[in-house]
């Protein structure tokens, strides 16, 4: 049951139709109550915070003017869609947001008719909304409006420019709302940021803009439409440095306007409805608006977890004993340590310096650690270019984001055998962010690429050693190191570096009857499973394979000759993953063991705590122990039958 009570006005809004019943004079109160409700909910239940606070007025204005869900509203990323969800019938269930079995943290077609498109990764909104607009055009549904809301951070990707390039020559009834707050998760970078700042701060432009909008406000709609083409010509060329980029691409540009003035937004959207064709409205907002601490430290308050809404104190788990660090922090500190010893090392990340902890190196070596914006494809090919000149590049990309740069991995890195080191953060089931962010597929899609080494550490020390080994001069091949989100298992993690030979695993413990083969962090689940099984006098062998490609042939031959029962464990898809690789090896060499593959099943896994999802997918410690018991039991029955015979 939701213990958080909405304000008196918000409590009456169960759909956009209810919102439309409000007088314009009530809209600011609706915004205030919506903002407070988001603060109340996120402070208690956690979730993304600053982005949704920054678009409260925008959310209210869009649903007040447009006829959603008939008009199609597409949010980019979804971090900013909490207000949208609350206004579209999910207010009373919002406390389940990002919880196992509850609401998704992102817009999701199957969750609500108001979610026109599922979004978790950035920069998809313009393409999706343009597709909807062209479909409406084809079907003769000329009344229907299509709105894409995209942040200036998401605009640093290539996909929005591909969409803008198409939209500008279409006649599609499309409105792009550029939500400009100079932030994604970390501060935005690149020339586009400077360009938008120049538009916003140009005194000449803003004077013309204000005069134009003052005139427009006094015109009837029919006159507004008649004069639109003349007004456009006046807007072009007034930006200080050059003609307007968006106008040059064929879109009618309006703005920038204050994105926190709900009445101004309402009047603007009402006027823009009368203008046909593709157009872009540039609004200026503040990420974290209305919560002082979130405005001042926008990176920290992007997704702070639970906190005291009065004091702003973020709730952190405390322990009387040292706790293991997060894998991403081990990566960040180790990268700096390696870079201090090796001047050839550089780091790259596409807009995730804080998330992947490359910011640790950026703060110390700003010229050797680069944030390239939300541009995974560029990051990979840039890394390839650096590698041609002898640079040892650590390119850190979240596993699910690497899917967006797959062609570059093959075409620009693997074919040319360039020694780029890919560190895939957030591999496996990431938890509350759900299916758009689960790193389920990288083992399968990486191991099929020639020339790649694919590895996964079982703990923090192994991560350090893999990173150290990958950057050694004798390694001249592309090298993938995948590791999960969250804590490892070693409080004392800063161990001396040790060279690991490519394709060599290790035996954790010997045993009999059944062999457990693991890759990466789930090896720790197998350690726990072995302890459980020992209480029942079942003692399987356990091998940490370290490498999916190349596999340790020596270990696999040993296992195949000694064991007829094998359990493989991975935090990746069972289709084409590590278990499949083991089966391929066995078939190639004429072995016929019974193999039980545990991992992420061949279906979309929803959101929840990692431990909940590991249990659901059947590869936590209990599931591993159960699989071993089942195989061991079958083995004992066979032996008994043989003795009786």
**Residue 44 is encoded by which pair of tokens?**
């208690």
User: Rounded distance, CA 439 to CA 423, Å?
Assistant: 12
Cis omega before residue 550 (within 30°)?
Answer: yes
**pLDDT for 22 beyond 60:** yes
Exactly one of 404, 447, 485, 549 is catalytic; name it. 404
The residue with tokens 């490892």 is 488
The predicted model gives 468-474 an average pLDDT of 97
Q: For residue range 169-225, list pLDDT tens digits in order.
A: 998 999 999 999 876 556 656 677 677 766 655 544 445 555 555 555 555 555 554
Q: Could you tell me how far CA 407 lies from the centroid of its own chain?
A: 19
405 contacts: CB under 8 Å, gap ≥ 6? 376, 377, 379, 380, 397
Q: Which residues of 63-96 are buried (b: 16+ CB within 10 A; e: fewer)?
A: bbbbebeebbbbbbbbbbbbbbbbbbbbbeebbe
Q: With contact defined as beta carbons under 8 Å apart, do 447 and 407 qualify?
A: no
Residue 640: which pLDDT band, with cuts at 50, 70 and 90? very low
Task: Mark whether 144 is an active-site residue.
Answer: no
**pLDDT for 326 beyond 90:** yes
Exactly one of 376, 460, 462, 570 is catalytic; name it. 376
Exactly one of 35, 145, 287, 392 is catalytic; name it. 287
pLDDT of residue 320: 77
Domains of the chain: 10-296 (3.40.50.970), 327-482 (3.40.50.970), 506-644 (3.40.50.920)
Task: Mark whether 404 is an active-site residue.
Answer: yes
Task: Mark whether 504 is an active-site residue.
Answer: no
Residue 639: which pLDDT band, with cuts at 50, 70 and 90? very low
């Amino acid at each position: 049951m939701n213990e958080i009570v909405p304000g008196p006005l918000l409590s009456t809004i169960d759909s956009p139709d209810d919102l439309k019943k409000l007088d314009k004079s009530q809209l600011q109160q609706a915004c205030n109550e919506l903002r407070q409700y988001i603060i109340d909910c996120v402070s208690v239940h956690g979730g993304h915070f600053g982005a949704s606070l920054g678009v409260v007025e925008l959310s209210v204005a869009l649903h007040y003017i447009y006829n959603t869900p008939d008009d199609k509203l597409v949010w980019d990323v979804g971090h900013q869609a909490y207000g949208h969800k609350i206004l579209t019938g999910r207010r009373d269930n919002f406390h389940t947001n990002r919880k196992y079995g509850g609401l998704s943290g992102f817009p999701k077609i199957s969750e609500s008719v108001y979610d026109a498109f599922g979004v978790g990764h950035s920069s998809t909104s313009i393409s999706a909304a343009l597709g909807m607009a062209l479909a409406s055009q084809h079907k003769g549904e000329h009344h229907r409006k299509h709105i894409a809301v995209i942040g200036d951070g998401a605009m640093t990707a290539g996909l929005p420019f591909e969409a803008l390039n198409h939209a500008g020559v279409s006649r599609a009834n499309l409105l792009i709302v550029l939500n400009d707050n100079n932030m994604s998760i970390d501060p935005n970078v690149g020339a586009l940021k400077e360009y938008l700042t120049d538009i916003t701060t140009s005194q000449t432009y803003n004077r013309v803009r204000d005069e134009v909008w003052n005139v427009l406000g006094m015109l009837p709609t029919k006159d507004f439409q008649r004069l639109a083409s003349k007004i456009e010509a006046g807007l072009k060329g007034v930006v200080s440095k050059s003609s307007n980029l968006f106008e040059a691409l064929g879109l009618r540009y309006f703005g920038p306007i204050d994105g926190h003035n709900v009445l101004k937004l309402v009047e603007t959207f009402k006027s823009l409805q009368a203008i046909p064709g593709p157009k872009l409205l540039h609004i200026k907002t503040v990420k974290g608006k209305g919560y002082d601490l979130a405005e001042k430290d926008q990176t920290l308050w992007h997704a702070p977890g639970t906190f005291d809404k009065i004091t702003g104190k973020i709730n952190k788990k405390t322990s009387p004993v040292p706790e293991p660090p997060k894998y991403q922090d081990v990566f960040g500190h180790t990268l700096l340590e390696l870079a201090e010893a090796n001047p050839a090392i550089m780091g790259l990340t596409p807009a995730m310096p804080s998330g992947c902890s490359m910011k640790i190196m950026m703060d110390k070596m700003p010229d050797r650690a680069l944030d390239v914006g939300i541009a995974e494809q560029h990051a990979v090919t840039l890394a390839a270019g650096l590698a041609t000149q002898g640079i040892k590049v650590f390119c850190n990309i979240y596993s699910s984001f690497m899917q967006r740069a797959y062609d570059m991995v093959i075409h620009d890195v693997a074919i040319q055998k360039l020694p780029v080191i890919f560190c895939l953060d957030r591999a496996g089931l990431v938890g509350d962010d759900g299916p758009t962010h689960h790193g389920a597929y990288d083992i399968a899609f990486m191991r099929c690429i020639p020339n790649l080494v694919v590895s996964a550490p079982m703990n923090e020390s192994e991560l350090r050693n893999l990173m150290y080994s990958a950057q050694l001069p004798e390694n001249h091949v592309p090298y993938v190191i995948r590791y999960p989100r969250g804590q490892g298992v070693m409080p004392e993690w800063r161990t001396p570096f040790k060279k690991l030979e490519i394709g060599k695993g290790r035996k954790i413990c010997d045993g009999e009857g059944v062999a457990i083969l693991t890759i990466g962090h789930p090896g720790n689940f197998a350690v726990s499973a072995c302890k459980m099984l020992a209480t029942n006098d079942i003692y399987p062998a356990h091998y940490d394979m370290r490498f999916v490609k190349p596999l340790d042939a020596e270990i696999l031959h040993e296992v195949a000759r000694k064991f007829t029962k094998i359990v493989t464990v991975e935090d990746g898809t069972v289709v084409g993953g590590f278990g499949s690789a083991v089966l391929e090896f066995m078939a190639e060499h004429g072995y016929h063991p019974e193999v039980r593959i545990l991992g992420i099943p061949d279906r979309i896994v929803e959101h929840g705590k990692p431990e909940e999802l590991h249990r659901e997918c059947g590869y936590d410690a209990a599931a591993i122990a159960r699989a071993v018991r089942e195989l061991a039991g079958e083995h004992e029955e066979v032996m008994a039958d043989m003795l009786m015979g």
